[in-house]
Structure 1
Amino acid sequence: MTTVTLEPRAGRQCHNALNSLHATLYFSPDLGKEMASIGITHPRAVNFAVRAAAMGRVGAGTVAAAFYNYKYELVARHVPAVWSVAGPGDVLAARARAIDTTLRRLLGDEAVGSAEMAEAAGLALRATEACSRSARPLYAAHADLPVSDEPHLAYFHAATLLREHRGDGHLAVLMSAGLDGLEAVVSHTATGKGMAPKWVFGSRGWSQEDWDAASLRLRERGALDADGELTEAGVALRAEIEAETDRLDRGPYEHLGAAGVARLTELGRLFAGAALAAGAYPADLLGKR
């Protein structure tokens, strides 16, 4: 078997491009409408159900473990109660309808039906052939779902698989680095690339008091300074975490090959850029404040 050598961070860059489009679903009004049609209306219940449905009627403990950076008490308010409103199968069907509507709204029917979309779907699915189910619960659950014959839905499915494959590995790295869920969020936000605190409070269930306590733990560790900025050690820690995550996630991109990764990244950025231009994300989502 020939080992494919990729440029440093090529896999991460490809993942980021695909994940940027995938993440639009969680901010889409179309998702809220489809979930409301099956009786799920609370934003947190929508989020937990949509992302966890592939795992079946799981409880709060499973969701909190797989999601990692959500406060357990928030999860337990909605799971497993959400499954008494709509079962996982109904949730997955509503999600599929929302994906279709969201992509058509953000990208336009021409892009959805384009040769580029079909090419991107083929490349992304090819990459997923080398994903591993071992110790990756969210990836493994989604990998058992059928692949749509429609290229834009197949592309989104493959992007989901690649997202969850990397994400599951990332959680193992965070645990190895000794970062709990909130410490991981606080340190990521300090890079300027993570969610602003107000979004963390609203979506993850943490309070300002929780945030301050996690920040204190990171300061005592030497990763943050008194102003909440990453120290030199903190910068090194985050770099090590991303590098190890890259290592655990290299299989799909080595399988696709350098040319395929470059082309998929190009197409992923094209679609993600169009979605961003169409207002897919809240303007204040990212940042340190």
Structure 2
Amino acid sequence: MELHSEPVVRLQNVTKVIGKRTIIDHLTLDLPKAEVFGFLGPNGSGKTTTIRMMVGLMKLTDGDVIIRGHSIRKQFEQAIRHVGAIVENPEMYKYLTGYQNLLHFSRMVPGISRQRIDEVVELVGLRERIHDKVKTYSLGMRQRLGVAQAIMHKPSLLILDEPTNGLDPAGIRELRDYLRKLTREEGITIFVSSHLLSEMELMCDRVAIIQSGKLIDVRPIHTEGTKETAAARVLFDVDKHEEAIRLLAENYSIQRDGEAVAVEADRETVAAINAALVHGGIKVYGIKVQGKSLEDQFLEMTGGTPNV
């Protein structure tokens, strides 16, 4: 996805100090338009604290959050009107229908029409059940209803803190599909934290990784030509494994992987190795690139466990 010149949100040296402890340490981050942007970090790294400061539930010690050109510190009302958020679980009136809940919330914000309510119901896939009482909804349906409520006023930014908590695999996949749909059809930027690295890898366009309140890295997901795919572990399926290892061992660090020969290589090196094998009379049946998973990258950078 192409980066837009003007980010929807800018975190500028965001800092939070409680007592003598620095929770968030000069965090600077830009969120592009119409992307699902993941926020990863070990337990206690400051993810929820950052989100609470972004939505005004906690004061910043220093720095600022700029949303669509408005400062969260100096122009809170103008900034927050561009934000929809679900922090923890969405709270709904269970004795009302889904539609009655949305109608109730719509009265709190001027300019939300019945047509807009119908639009968001369609977007999150609740048209068949919207007139049923919320107490009959599954957790996944309640999450989708919460998303519908959060986007009724057409925000530029949707913030979701651990939205997949408690969802079964089908519910997680549904939520992922609807978030993707929102970026495409509504042009919304979605900022999402999660403890499920595999889901973040499927859900996000890029991720920011923090540790001890400091930004470690921002990297794209599934983007060709990035440094993660430029040098990767490559498997060569060959007919003469021992000969292939002897042939390549002089110039490359080679490992045997089952019926294949493994080597760390970039694109040009892969071509050179293939040519050397063929020239040496060794048949190459297949070449497979094993890109590092988001979990592998996370462990490398944090030196910790994938429990975020």
TM-score, with structure 1 as normaliser: 0.24
Higher relative contact order (CA 8 A, sep 6+): 1
Query: Which structure has the greater CA radius of gyration?
Result: 2
More strand by share: 2
